[in-house]
Every structure is written in C-alpha cells, then in structure tokens.
Structure 1
Amino acid sequence: MSAEPAAGDPAELSPLDEARFGVKSARAREVNTQNLPAVLDFCAVNQVEFLVARCSTADISAVHALESAGFHLMDTLLYLRFDLKKTPIPPNDSSVLIRPVRPDEVDQVGTLAFTAFENFYGHYHADPRLDPRKSTEVYVSWAQRCCTEPSAASLVLAAET
C-alpha cells in the first residue's frame, strides 16, 4: 500500500514519523471497536511498528479494545471551544499587540515550541522507544508548519509589546 490513504482506509502511513523515528509509522484518526480489526489489518499489511491511534474519550470500549490488542494509552487531548457568537472577545485594554506571525518569525516560533515542549509528556515522549529529542522536534516542525502551511493552521498569532 502507498502512503496515500485510499477511500475508507482506517489508517494512513506517516512518512514524517517514519523519517524522524526510523520505524514504519502510521496514524489512525478515529479508532472504535468496529474499525479496530481493519486498523490492525492495515498495520499488519504495511508492517507498521509505530501507530498513533486516536479515539474518543467517550468511547471507553475502544480504549479497552486497543489495550487488549497490546496498545498502551500514552496521552489524552482536550479540545476547548469558545463561541464568539454567544460571547464576543472583550476589548484588549493592554499594551500588548496581538498580530499574525510574520514569515521571518517562523524560526522563533520553532525555538519557542522547543522550549515549551522539551519537558512535555505527550504521546511521543511517553513512548520509551522514541528518542526524547526527536520527540520534541515533532512539536517544533508542527509549530513551524502551522506558520507556513494553511492546511496545518489557518492562523498563528504573536504577542508583541
């Protein structure tokens, strides 16, 4: 199979993680008890050694099924929402200017990400098989991609005094 996911594939290969960590890697974005067998088949066919599998925290049966299949829970994600239609952003009374990141600041964003995530215990750092420095570099490249690739983030903001 190729790195490009086919329609209906339960997972996709992750060339970026493979290049970084040196093992065949894949991602499964919405694992549940129904598609777990297909995810496992995908991994077997593609000889995947490292899988980032996400499932809803509301679907505890999926977590248990993954654990029964030999997976380990490495971290959880929390998504916060703020409905601007219900509560507008209050006026900024501070002297800090919030503005979009400029192209010449991408390296600074990477440096900030390294500092912020160096001791962060996320799913990469939680895996003892992965090099901790390379695990931190995941967040550096992600932060920089957010500044340069619209598919990664629609907007990155900077605070300026």
Structure 2
Amino acid sequence: MVPMVAETTDKVILDGLAKVGFKTNLGIHGAQWWLPHTGASKSIIDGDIKIKNGSAIESFMENGLRFVDGTELQADMIVFATGYGDHRDFMREVCGDEVASKIPRVWGLDDEGQTVGMWRYCGHDGLWFANGDLALSRFHSLCLAMCEFIPCGI
C-alpha cells in the first residue's frame, strides 16, 4: 500500500522534497508507517525550512552552523534528524558522557505502555527527544513546549 500512496497521493510532495535534497524512503520492505506532513513538507520544498545533509557539522555558531565542507547555515533553530539507532549514542557524541549517562533508555514501551523517554522527560532536564513522523511531532510539540516552561515529567 505504501508504494502505491507514494506514487499517487504523495507523489508531488515526495518529488518536491527530492528536488531540494530531502532524503526519504519507503521504509523496510516498502512498509513505512508515516506519511509526509503537507504543511512542513511544503515549507521545505518552498525553502522556508532549510535543510542540510551530506557534510558533518564542524561547529556551532551564534546564529547557525558551520559544516566541514566550508558551508554555513543561518538558523533560528537546529533540528537533528539523525535516523535510526540508539539515541544515547548520538547524545553522547554531542553532549558528552555526563548528559548521556542520565538517559536510561529512549524509545520502546515502559511498564505502563507509554513510550520511554520520547515526548516526555527523558532523564535530563531541558533535553527532549521528539522522534517519529511529523504527525506525532505536531501532536506532541505542545506537550514539549509546556514541559520546557513548566517542569514536569509527563
């Protein structure tokens, strides 16, 4: 079903994303469970949301990033779209062992059937994991914003 939707309903969005260098895939065995979010995708296609891939980050600047390939990207906000793997490995590289060691586990379900460390307190104040598709991001972003201003462990 996913390949059919990609070639029909979502073709214009996916083709537009590909033209600006946004990498997509249909998931394992063509069975990805997410669909592109038309609002954010259109903003990426139109250039309102900038993307960069293919070069490692050299350094953070006051208003953006400098990349190893010599390019710079001005940004109000930086979102790491890192792909799959253990989120703590990436955090260890970015934030160091002290921060990463406070995060017990990210993703999967806890004893109550809630997603562990995702969209809620993860074990370190001020650090939030917001993984998943754009529909999940849109739904849970209000919770994250509220938690940032009102410390809580939702």
TM-score (normalizing by structure 2): 0.29
RCO higher in structure (CA 8 A, sep ≥6): 1
When the two structures are superposed, what TM-score results if normalisation uses the length of structure 1?
A: 0.28
Structure of larger gyration radius: 1
